[in-house]
Amino acid sequence: MYRVPAPEADTQLLAVHEALDKLATQHPVKAEVVKLRYFIGLTIAETAEVLAISEPTAKNYWAWARVWLYQEIKASTAA
């Protein structure tokens, strides 16, 4: 049986998509870290290797991007 997603879920999904697009425009490597970690499930070490950056840098980018996305999504859904 097919379920129609709740409007809130659509709004949240759109907010995540828009925030990730904005991040990719402003900070492309950090956006790639998010995509590799969150959507593909790579580890920090794997992500660093794919992007040819150090593991500490990948870890820093991952932490920074999570906070940035949280703030961006929170601001867009509060409006």
What percent of the chain shows pLDDT beyond 90? 70
Question: CA angle 9-74-57, nearest 5°?
Answer: 105
Residue 22 has pLDDT above 90, yes or no: yes
pLDDT of residue 7: 56
The whole-angstrom separation of Cα 12 and Cα 44 is: 26
pLDDT of residue 12: 81
Of the candidate ranges 44-48, 52-56, 69-73, the one whose mean pLDDT is the lowest: 69-73
Residue 1 forms part of a structural domain: no
Residue 51 forms part of a structural domain: yes
- Looking at residue 33, which CATH number applies to its domain? 1.10.10
Residue 40 forms part of a structural domain: yes
Residue 65 lies in domain: 27-78
Return all residues near 48 (Cβ < 8 A) that are at least 6 apart: 54, 55, 57, 58
